[in-house]
Structure 1
Amino acid sequence: MERQDVIEALRASGESTLENAKAKALAEYDQLFNVSLNIAVTGETGSGKSTFVNALRGLGDDDDGAAPTDVVETTMKATMYEHPGMPNVKLWDLPGIGSPNFKAKTYFKDVNFDIYDFFIILSAKRFSENDLMLAKEINKIKKNFYFVRTQIDNDIRSKERRNGFDEQKVLSEIRQDCKENLKEVENPHIFLISCFQVEKYDFEMLRNTLEIELPTHKRSALLQAWPVCSTKSLKEKIKLYEGLVWAAALTSAYIAVIPVPGLSIACDASIVLLFFVRCYYAFGLDDCSLRRLSKKVKIPLENYLRKSKIASAIRDKTLTRMQVSAALGTVAAIEFVLSLVPVVGSIAAAGLSFGTTMYILREGLNELASIAREIRDVAGLNAIDH
């Protein structure tokens, strides 16, 4: 690399040598895109497990690929659903405990508890004896579990017409009732949520708690996949990607020294494309997320994506590896020729790839972040946060 590129890469990585910086970049890049996260969603029949899984994936119950929902038990076996934009994040919709097909006494043999990183135990009413049994069994295998009381929006609507209605008082009463039913669990984590109003109640508090208690290498996967619940959570997502632009660029530079025609640019293109697609889904710019938000605020939001060429290309499925390769194509021949020159040539090739990719990633990230902020502003969500 040119000296300025080396200085910038070392400063961004916090390492003292280029080799250490490369190793760190590869590790962080791999962690961002490849570390798996398996979330188990369980609870009694009718607690809204499938709807919760869909909400975490940014899908409505009627969207293509959504977990099926109904008034009767629809989950007959542990079913895995990948996050639409983060395939390393997997949500498992487990059968409802206590249903005719899954008796409480045999449930733990029927469902393999070992493969999950943590458990969400849902209840639409009061936590029951079956829920306590679940918690105790999960505790035996030394994994974390969290009690989530769903359909809070329905509880609020049923009581808001009463004289002297106080929403905070109602929420406090529900929370206390949950605690009373979970006395046998020491310091239970209890969260009140609505799957249709993720910006309200405890949805973001749930994510914050999960993030704190997850192993460090799993946290970025959770942050990327979790729906945008507030201006603060969007800022955290943007900050995450800003902090990893250098790693993606340096990973590209590391690949660029391999003297195979077309390999460098193909890898650069793959890295750029994957980075942008991850941002697109993490920021809630995908069709399903925008459709849900548009329906909620009664404002058509999808057309705002047209202000971003990158977002539009991803939406229209025209941002392909070939397209990104073309964007980088002006330096393709130079990179390849330089990569064939021993030592000096390879370093120069890596430097060119690093600088080019760094610029493209920064500009693209800023563009996607800007449109995500504008959409939240138009939807009136920033005002709600304040």
Structure 2
Amino acid sequence: MNVAFDSGGLPALVSKLFELQQNLEGIPINIGVTGEAGCGKSSLVNAIRGVAHDEPGAAPIGVTETTMIPTSYPHPALTNVQIWDLPGLGTPNFQLGNYRELVGFSRYDFFIIAASERFKENHAQLAKWIGESGRRFYFVRTKIDSDIEASRRRTHFNQEEVLAVIREDSLRYLGEQGVKSPQAFLVTSLDFNSYDSSHLRETLAREFPIHRKRAFLRSIRDPCFEIIQRKKTALSSEVWKLALLSSAAAAVPIPGLGFACDSGILLRNLPFYYQSFGLDEESLTRMSVEIAKPVEELKTQITSPQSTDLNRSLLYKLLSASPGMGLMAGGYLLRGVPIVGSVVSGGIAFTMTQRMLNWFLWSLAADTERVLHWLMHSD
């Protein structure tokens, strides 16, 4: 990705990301199964994996707290998928106040929040935390066979009606707790082929590509932004040479020479900066074709002046509006003072040109990050 960006700016980097995205099977997916202690998390982990409790490699289950640290188990059929049995919430070691930090929500790509009885405030809080981390989640009511068995004692028993009432009650409560668009599934690990297990499998299969894509984007976000920052730093390290030219011109006591030199330096170098980041008109047009989006949509993410708008009039306006214009004007007034005036004028010009070029670099780097972020989160 670094080589691509150095050779062709943002369009080349986006092209490389598209190429990498063509095969997401190599992207690891981590599923966190969480919930209160004793809700049947470990049994659910085994059921999702299709592993019996007494098989080698099964998550241990028991009436006491068996999961003391997050433990991963590979999915036998899904490549690079790890299902994590997380410690139970509410035990002496894992209280609500420290659970998020101890478990480390950022490690996982999405979550299954399990409950063996009614969903409670703790489950809603877990969902809010997970949502804040940018991950998705599913609610699963385990041990639903116990609810069905208890309902059989009623005079008029209808299994589908009982399941419908439990689903509606669960979704209503979670909605009242502020959970947006919750999905709830009713299962039993003793007979995982019954109740909502098939619906859960279908949902996971349907949305799994989305989770893989999001995991991919999270994995490349920081490296991409680091690449952009390295480019900014590299270009910024050369700014002093251009500022030195501006300083030399400013030291000459000819009215307007320094200002003209400054605008000339900017006109010659700013197009190079646009090309380096891939924000020039040609690069944006090429990228819009590859991603099949109008170039105008790309430009809405750019706050810097468009590369096509660069002209001497715009640069005069930027220079005259810069924060140090008062100092620069003072430098021009001092040019008539022998030696001292030239030194002061040259120093002020050096500072102002350096600041202006660095401002452009920082602005273009921020625009590049903004466009890349927009592309990552668009369809």
TM-score normalised by the chain length of structure 1? 0.47
TM-score normalised by the chain length of structure 2? 0.48
Larger Rg: 2
